[in-house]
Amino acid sequence: MQFDFSEPVPPVAQSQEPTAEAKQQEPAYNIQNQQLISLYDLFGLSAEERTQIKPKNSRSRRRMEIPQPKERQGRKSAKKEDERAPLDWREELMLEAAKKRKEAERQAKKTKTDPKPVYPVADARKEEQPQNLKREAEREERMKPVPFTVPEQGLPKHYKEGSLVTNDDNHIGYLRDLNGFKPMFHPLELSAQQGKRASLYIEIRDTYHHLYLNEADTLRENPALRQMLNRLYDDFTGKFGKLNDPKNLDLIKMDAGGREILSLERYREGKAVKADIFERPVAFNNREITHADNARDALAASLNKHGKVNLEYMAQLTGTAEDGLLSELKGKVYFNPLVGGYEVADKFIAGNVISKADEVQKFIDNHSDHEAAKESLAALREAAPKPIDFDDLDFNFGERWIPTGIYAAYASYLFETDVKVTYASSRDEFSLNARSRNANITEKYGVRSENRLFDGVA
């Protein structure tokens, strides 16, 4: 087969709108206006043979699936479900259960993610404010100090400044202004548990003092009060533990006389046991002495039982008259007009003997025939220290025995203004307060540093 490609094939005139058959048989040309040939032309295949050849499908490029909205997918899936074969009753039940489970999960997720409605904080505070103000006003009224009702027989002797007490309304508080016009009750804000603890402690303390003073005054045992004290103590320790337990110390030490109550427990081998007053009297010796051989033994028995020189009791023990006892005890006891009775020498000739001598001298001036007082005055004069010459005295600022009035007079003279000097024994410290400042304080006697002035005057 020979082909001549030297001369171009003349173009066929085409109509403006060729038919489909003409489009099929229309030859193709290149850019040089030369007719193109195909493989069919090379192998000489006729048009009929060409139509019988089925070309293989070329590998088509995979189309990327475009994500469709959920609604379309849902419609497609619903359509597919409709086209499925009918289900039996078991599959329908399982499918229905799965749908309900998914719906429940969707609702739970929605509930979890949806923000809960929040009550406006400002509105809540605005509504709570009147209630808070009312509660605060009630609390202030409840905690306000009020006058304490004093019993007809007066306050108990063991009540002091800061003593814990219970008022008529069974509220717990402490006392103030006992030396004033009327004692004041200051309420304490305690929890219910602390209130019960404090109330029971107050009962123990008052019962203990009542028992001790009653037996000391009557010199007789009081079993009823002792039984009550034991019952209260056992009740307290059963509910709240020992008095000296750390959890009780804070409350008990709030009371002015709390340390004395802590001595109701003694420790033996690390265990707390009751003190002697729970078993027997301690205000007097209950082992009664009925006889003494001499005045000295009688004096010891009197001091042991009564805590003082009781000549009547000593006469009963010895069967000797009081004058005879005083004759035997001459130099051992002395008459003290300040107490209206006799005292042992160690107690009488002690302390400021010069001041005591002056008081005894005043008594003798009015009772010139009192021989016992004259003997007491002579003993005091003999015990008085010898006066020291003024030249031998050494005075230093800050001596605690010098009255503060002397310091105040000297400071007022030195600074040329009224100065008050006070001494705080708890801090062991003097302080000066001037009515007005002047150049003597700030310039003459003051010491200046780079930052401040030191003058020692408040």
Per-10-residue mean pLDDT, the chain, length 458: 48 50 52 61 65 56 54 52 56 78 80 56 64 78 86 89 90 87 89 93 96 90 95 96 93 92 90 92 79 90 86 91 91 91 92 91 92 92 87 83 90 90 85 86 83 76
Q: Which domain holds residue 335?
A: 331-389
Residues 357 and 436 in one domain: no
Q: Which residues make Cβ contacts (< 8 Å) with residue 49, sequence separation at least 6?
A: none
Residues making up the chain, counted from first to last: 458
- Looking at residue 15, its pLDDT comes to 47
Residues 211 and 269 in one domain: yes
In a domain, 161, yes or no: yes
Residues 447 and 342 in one domain: no
In a domain, 413, yes or no: yes
Residues 164 and 273 in one domain: yes
Residues 265 and 357 in one domain: no
- Looking at residue 38, its pLDDT comes to 66
State residue 420 phi and psi, 5-degree precision.
Answer: -110, 130
Residues 312 and 383 in one domain: no
In a domain, 75, yes or no: no
The residue from 358, 389, 420 where one domain ends is 389
Residues 417 and 433 in one domain: yes
- Looking at residue 65, its pLDDT comes to 54
In a domain, 220, yes or no: yes
In a domain, 183, yes or no: no
In a domain, 404, yes or no: yes
- Looking at residue 22, its pLDDT comes to 46
246, 247, 253, 255: CA torsion to nearest 10 = -150
In a domain, 22, yes or no: no
How many folded domains does the chain comprise?
4
Residues 169 and 204 in one domain: yes
Residues 385 and 402 in one domain: no
Q: At which residue do the structure tokens 């003694």 appear?
A: 266
- Looking at residue 119, its pLDDT comes to 52
In a domain, 250, yes or no: yes
Residues 161 and 258 in one domain: yes
Residues 211 and 266 in one domain: yes
Residues 166 and 254 in one domain: yes
- Looking at residue 6, its pLDDT comes to 47
